[in-house]
C-alpha cells in the first residue's frame, strides 16, 4: 500500500459522462493487479471530503513508463471535479488496494460480462490474461443504456475477444438487458466458459452469479460500495456474504479489503436491492 502523488497525462471525455484519465505513477503501476483499486484524493482540500475508489482500466508499462489509465463516469460532485482536471495537474493515490481477479487456467475459455461503467476494470484483466498465454476463446458481453456507454470495444476485438453488445434502448447491438440475452446464448454453447468475470450494477451482478451457479460455472464479481477509507478501517463498504464457519449472522465483508472481487457463491444477495 503506497501513498503517492501522480501527474495527469490526459483527462479526455469519451462520451457525455465517461472520461479516460491517464496517470503516471511507476511504483503503483509496477504492483497493481487487475481488479485492485486506488483511493483517489481529488484535491488537496476538504471538498469533496473523502477519497473516491477507481479501478485501473488499462496499464501502459512503457508509454510512458509506469503509466495507467482510469475510466470513470461523472455521477456526483467528486467525479465532476475530477472531470475538470487538466493534464499536468496531480492527484493523490492510495493503493494498490483490495483483492483483484484470479487469472483463469491456461486452456479454459473466458467470459466477461460488463454493465455500463462496469467495463472499467476489464480491459486490464483482458490484457493480463492475453499476456499470460491463456489460449482459450474469449467473449465479452457488454450492456449499456445506449450506444454511448459501449466504449473501448475495439480494444477487446484487438485482444481476440468476440464482443456481444446489448443496449436498453436498442441503439446498438441487441435490445434489452445484457443478462437477458446472456443466459440464452450460454445455453446454446457447446462448451461452457471456464470462468465468468463480471462487473456492473448490483442486479446485473446478482443475475450473473445466479446464472453461473445454475450452469456450474465459477464466477468472479467485482463489487461496488460507498467507501470511506479503502483499507478496512472504517467498515463502511459492507457486503453481505456467507459467514465463515462458526461466526455470527449476518456476516458483512468489507468490499475494500475482502474484495472488491468476490466469488459469486460468497455473496448473500439482498432481495430489496435488486
Partner 1 sequence: MANDSPISLTVELGPLRLKNPVMVASGTFGYGQEYAELVPPERLGAMVVKGISLEPRSGNPPPRIWETCGGMLNAIGLQNVGLRAFVEEKLPWLNPLPVPVIVNLFGNTVEEYGKLAAALDGQEGIAGLEINISCPNVKAGGMIFGSDPKMVFQVVSAVRSRTNLPVITKLTPNVTDITVTARAAQDAGTDILSLINTVAGMAVDAQTRQPRLANVVGGLSGPAIKPIALRMVWQVVQVSTVPVIGLGGIVSVEDALEFLIVGAKAIQVGTANFINPGVTLEIIDGLEDYLRQRNLEDINEIIGTLEVP
Site string for partner 1, 203-242 (x = CB under 8 A): ----------------------xxxxxxxxxxxxxxxx--
The reply to whether 1 sits near partner 1 by the rule CB under 8 A is yes
Is the Cβ of residue 78 or residue 144 nearer to partner 1 in the bound state? 78
CA–CA separation, 269 vs 262, rounded Å? 12
Q: How far is CA 72 from the centre of its chain?
A: 10
Q: How far is the CB of 241 from partner 1 (least distance, A)?
A: 11
The reply to whether 49 sits near partner 1 by the rule CB under 8 A is yes
Is the Cβ of residue 115 or residue 230 nearer to partner 1 in the bound state? 230
The reply to whether 14 sits near partner 1 by the rule CB under 8 A is no
In 10 A of CB 8, how many CB atoms?
17
SS3 130: helix
The reply to whether 250 sits near partner 1 by the rule CB under 8 A is yes
Query: In sequence order, which ranges of 188-228 are alpha helices (DSSP H)?
Result: 202-215
In the block, residue with C-alpha cell 477509507:
229
Is the Cβ of residue 176 or residue 243 nearer to partner 1 in the bound state? 243
CA–CA separation, 199 vs 202, rounded Å? 9
Which of 7, 8, 174, 252 binds partner 1 (CB under 8 A)? It is: 252
The reply to whether 253 sits near partner 1 by the rule CB under 8 A is no
Instruction: List binders of partner 1 among 123-162 (CB under 8 A).
Output: none
The reply to whether 245 sits near partner 1 by the rule CB under 8 A is no
The reply to whether 75 sits near partner 1 by the rule CB under 8 A is no
Work out the angle at residue 197's Cα, subtended by the Cα atoms of residues 191 and 200, and round it to the nearest 5 degrees: 130
**Sheet with 195-199: strands ordered across:** 174-175, 161-167, 138-144, 110-115, 195-199, 218-222, 261-263
Q: Which residues of this chain interact with partner 1, rule CB under 8 A? A: 1, 3, 41, 46-51, 94, 225-240, 247-252, 270
Amino acid at each position: 500500500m503506497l501513498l503517492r502523488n501522480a501527474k495527469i497525462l490526459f483527462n479526455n471525455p469519451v462520451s457525455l459522462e465517461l472520461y479516460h484519465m491517464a496517470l503516471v505513477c511507476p511504483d503503483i503501476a509496477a504492483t497493481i493487479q487487475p481488479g485492485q483499486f486506488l483511493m483517489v484524493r481529488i484535491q488537496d482540500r476538504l471538498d469533496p471530503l473523502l477519497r473516491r475508489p477507481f479501478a485501473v482500466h488499462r496499464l501502459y508499462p512503457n508509454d510512458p513508463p509506469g503509466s495507467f489509465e482510469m475510466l470513470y463516469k461523472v455521477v456526483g460532485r467528486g467525479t465532476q471535479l475530477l472531470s475538470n482536471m487538466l493534464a499536468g495537474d496531480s492527484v493523490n493515490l492510495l493503493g494498490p488496494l483490495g483483492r483483484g481477479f484470479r487469472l483463469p487456467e491456461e486452456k479454459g475459455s473466458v467470459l466477461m460480462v460488463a454493465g455500463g461503467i462496469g467495463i472499467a476494470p476489464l480491459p486490464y484483466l483482458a490484457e493480463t490474461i492475453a499476456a499470460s498465454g491463456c489460449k482459450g476463446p474469449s467473449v465479452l458481453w457488454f450492456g449499456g443504456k445506449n450506444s454511448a456507454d459501449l466504449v473501448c470495444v475495439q480494444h477487446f476485438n484487438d485482444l481476440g475477444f468476440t464482443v456481444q453488445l446489448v443496449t436498453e434502448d436498442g441503439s446498438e447491438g441487441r435490445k434489452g438487458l445484457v443478462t437477458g440475452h446472456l443466459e440464452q446464448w450460454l445455453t446454446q454453447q457447446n462448451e461452457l466458459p471456464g470462468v465468468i468475470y463480471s462487473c456492473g450494477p448490483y442486479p446485473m451482478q446478482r443475475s450473473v452469479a445466479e446464472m453461473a451457479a445454475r450452469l456450474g460455472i465459477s464466477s468472479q464479481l467485482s463489487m461496488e460500495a460507498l467507501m470511506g477509507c479503502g483499507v478496512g478501517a472504517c467498515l463502511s463498504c459492507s457486503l453481505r456474504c456467507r459467514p465463515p464457519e462458526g461466526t455470527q449472522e449476518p456476516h458483512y465483508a468489507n468490499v475494500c479489503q475482502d474484495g472488491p472481487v468476490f466469488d459469486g457463491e460468497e455473496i448473500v444477495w439482498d432481495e430489496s436491492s435488486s
